[in-house]
Amino acid sequence: MARQRKQGRPSGQSATIHDQTLVRGNGGELHQLAEGDTPVLTTAQGAPVADDQNSLRAGARGPALIDDFHFREKIFHFDHERIPERVVHARGYGAHGFFEAYDVLSKYTRADLFQRPGERTPAFVRFSTVAGAKGSFDLARDVRGFAVKIYTQEGNWDLVGNNIPVFFIQDPIKFPDVIHAVKPEPDRGFPQAQSAHDNFWDFISLTPESMHMIMWVMSDRAIPRSFRFMEGFGVHTFRLLDEADESTFVKFIWKPKLGLQSVVWNEAVKINGADPDFHRRDLWNAIQSGDFPEWELCVQLFDQEFADSFDFDVLDPTKLIPEEIIKPIPVGRLVLDRMPDNFFAETEQVAFMTQNVPPGIDFSNDPLLQGRNFSYLDTQLKRLGGPNFTHIPINAPKCPFAHFQQDGHMAMRNPVGRVNYQPNSHGVGPREDPARGFRAFAEEIEAPKVRLRPESFADHYSQARQFFDSQTAPEQKHIVMALTFELAKVENPVIRERMVAHLLNIDEALGATVADKLGIKELPKPADAAVTPRDDLPPSPALSIIENGPESFAGRKVGVLVSNGCDDKLLKALETALQTEGATMELVAPKVGGVETAGGVSIPAHHMIDGGPSVLFDAVVLLLSEEGAERLAGEATARDFVSDAFQHCKFIGFTADAAPLLARAGVAPDADEGMIEFADAASVPGFVESCRKLRLWARESAVKL
């Protein structure tokens, strides 16, 4: 019988595996291999492997043999690669960085990280969506998680926040219900990563305390342009404790240095198709190119007297304290400057827990926070498989630590020696330290055991109304459109009407407009309200995204549609102007191989036109030869590139040669001030300056988005 040739390894070549230059020693340490050395592939037990291309068989065409331990181990390990995804916030993306305090905050807190201005404390941040599965798309209309782990010298501090300062529910016992309601419906397993379905709106419409949060979730806050352009909120009231254990209440806010920015819904829908990883890619690209995103940590500080006099209960997580009433004070900055080496090891295995606070920071009695403090520890056990998840490097403290916890699944560090308890008569091992250790605020409590919602939590509409009143006209319109879109997906008309009844309590015109757009013929009665909604809360400009946009175009990206014969000088001028601004550009061309400019220079493109729609950019430029414009005018993707950019209110720079494409896309070159014609290279800086506004919202009513 002829000898069978082995599959996979070309004959005559040695059994190289890959070009990895690190290999593990016996103690798990990594050794750098000399150049040219190829490590030998081993099993997880360390046995060198002779053949990784063919499993062991009885004869070339016979059955597999059970003594193939290498095959068994390899497949066994593969079969167990997945851990349960997070029950909420499954889709996320993390990065490393540092926190740096501006001033000594000892007046308010003894927390070590606030004592030495300028000292860098390592940090890890994970951004996420809430409802979608791990593999869902980035631009879901959803709350974004903003979870920060700061590895302080006195233990890890996890500030597990969102990009929205309030929450759906007041009592943690309702958390499984709100999450069940928003997740795919259990019988059919859809819709994925969407709140636009009956179950969600059924629960919401029966839960008036969610109305304030609903206004936020239906606003553009729920479709951010980038993680880099979002605020983060600790949501709850916490306490700061000084050396004498005196307490100051605090709310934490992260403010992005690059200002706030969101996309519009029509854009979000298209981004999800064009690049489902849009937010991940954006963070990856920014950090890899050295454009490190930065946030300021701000604190709203207040005392018991303020808490007692404020219109709402500071323990109610469905309420915020307007920034105009208590101004957030910047106390430090967070910079993200390094991507994880491995997504699974770090981003997937990171375990955030609200109960991780260092001495000097303490909880308030916000019931939701108290419930969270139970849930987060519990969930890590399920997800990471055992009690030793703090042994995983991403979760381990970076300060000295010592305790007598031992054993359990995957124990990597056990106490050494004979003594694993205290007190002990050997005088060994760590002991507690009342002076340095964590001390809770000694609040006096004498109360009956009850299941009661405080009356001070009963006003569900006033702040929802204040939020709506604080939005600019385009933002209010987006809320109307979002509510209409979502409720139009609800099949049961009773739920739609019940929601309209709530909206009427928030803003009569809002309720009436949504009802009209849904085709509800007769307006329902406003929902019963335990407390009459107030109409005397002044608008808070801090709540608007448009009012808090950037002052520059830094960190943003222009998509330049180019064709053969495009103008070299203009291209160069654009590149220089954007670089000076701190912005970037990417070239979109009929072929990804690129184009030849009028000056005969070959330049590669970043995207082929089909893969680089204008929704991926903050502004666009059409840099075409007349012939190029004629040709692209015949292509639907090129026409969409232009008409979408126009529809999404983006600034569009173009040369006179682009006329045929503009005409076929239905966009007049002089439609409005957002259409900027380049007479020559001198007009380019003016274009970049206009782009600082990000969008020409005045156009929106004309295009009837």
- Catalytic residue numbers read 89, 162
In whole angstroms, give the CA distance from residue 194 to residue 223.
12
- Number of residues located near ligand HDD, criterion CB under 6 A: 26
From 156-164, 219-227, 357-365, 472-480, span contacting ligand HDD (CB under 6 A): 156-164
Q: Which of 352, 468, 553, 651 binds ligand HDD (CB under 6 A)?
A: 352
The H or E element spanning position 627 is helix 626-633
Nearest CA-CA partner of 629 in 659, 653, 600, 665:
659
376 is in an annotated binding site: yes
| Contact (Cβ atoms closer than 8 angstroms) between residue 287 and residue 293 | yes
Which C-beta is closer to ligand HDD: that of 372 or that of 496? 372
- Shortest Cβ distance from residue 172 to ligand HDD (Å)? 4
Q: Which of 150, 160, 500, 558 binds ligand HDD (CB under 6 A)?
A: 160
Angstrom distances, CA of residue 116 to CA of 106, 153, 348, 404:
10, 11, 32, 31
- HSE-CB at 265 with a 13 A cutoff on CA atoms is 21
In whole angstroms, give the CA distance from residue 264 to residue 225.
9
Which C-beta is closer to ligand HDD: that of 200 or that of 553? 200
- Copy the structure tokens of residue 191: 């819709």
Q: Which of 39, 371, 526, 611 binds ligand HDD (CB under 6 A)?
A: 371
Contact status: 147 vs ligand HDD (CB under 6 A): yes
- Shortest Cβ distance from residue 470 to ligand HDD (Å)? 21
- HSE-CB at 304 with a 13 A cutoff on CA atoms is 3
Q: Which of 55, 153, 370, 379 binds ligand HDD (CB under 6 A)?
A: 379
- Copy the structure tokens of residue 135: 């593999």
User: DSSP labels for 537-558?
Assistant: PPP-GGG-SGGG--SS-TT-EE
Q: Which of 114, 124, 167, 654 binds ligand HDD (CB under 6 A)?
A: 167
Contact status: 182 vs ligand HDD (CB under 6 A): no
Contact status: 161 vs ligand HDD (CB under 6 A): yes
86 is in an annotated binding site: yes
Contact status: 113 vs ligand HDD (CB under 6 A): no
In whole angstroms, give the CA distance from residue 563 to residue 590.
7
Which C-beta is closer to ligand HDD: that of 237 or that of 647? 237
- Copy the structure tokens of residue 473: 């006209």
- Shortest Cβ distance from residue 353 to ligand HDD (Å)? 7
The residues in 259-318 that bind ligand HDD, with binding defined as CB under 6 A, are 317
421 is in an annotated binding site: no
Which C-beta is closer to ligand HDD: that of 384 or that of 514? 384
Strand duo 361-363 + 155-162: pairing: unpaired
The residues in 215-244 that bind ligand HDD, with binding defined as CB under 6 A, are 235
φ, ψ at 75 (rounded to 5°): -70, -40
Closest residue to ligand HDD, based on beta-carbon distance: 145
Contact status: 96 vs ligand HDD (CB under 6 A): no
Q: Which of 97, 132, 145, 653 binds ligand HDD (CB under 6 A)?
A: 145
Rg (CA), the chain: 29
- Shortest Cβ distance from residue 126 to ligand HDD (Å)? 4
Which C-beta is closer to ligand HDD: that of 377 or that of 488? 377
Q: Which of 21, 153, 355, 375 binds ligand HDD (CB under 6 A)?
A: 375
Give me the helices (H) in 244-277, please: 265-274
Q: Which of 71, 306, 376, 485 binds ligand HDD (CB under 6 A)?
A: 376
Contact status: 87 vs ligand HDD (CB under 6 A): yes
- Copy the structure tokens of residue 515: 């009802």
In whole angstroms, give the CA distance from residue 582 to residue 554.
4
In whole angstroms, give the CA distance from residue 285 to residue 434.
46
Contact status: 355 vs ligand HDD (CB under 6 A): no
The H or E element spanning position 161 is strand 155-162
| Contact (Cβ atoms closer than 8 angstroms) between residue 611 and residue 601 | no
φ, ψ at 685 (rounded to 5°): -60, -35
φ, ψ at 676 (rounded to 5°): -120, 110
Q: Which of 97, 132, 155, 172 binds ligand HDD (CB under 6 A)?
A: 172
Say whether 332 sits in a helix, a strand or coil: strand
The residue written with tokens 């709106």 in the block is: 201
- Name the residue type at position 140: A
Which C-beta is closer to ligand HDD: that of 256 or that of 533? 256
Which C-beta is closer to ligand HDD: that of 349 or that of 625? 349
126 is in an annotated binding site: yes
Contact status: 128 vs ligand HDD (CB under 6 A): yes
Residues that constitute the known binding site for heme: 86, 126, 175, 372, 376, 383
Would you tell me which residues interact with ligand HDD (CB under 6 A)? 86-89, 92, 126, 128, 145, 147, 160-162, 167, 172, 175, 235, 317, 350-352, 368, 371-372, 375-376, 379
Residues that constitute the known binding site: 86, 126, 175, 372, 376, 383
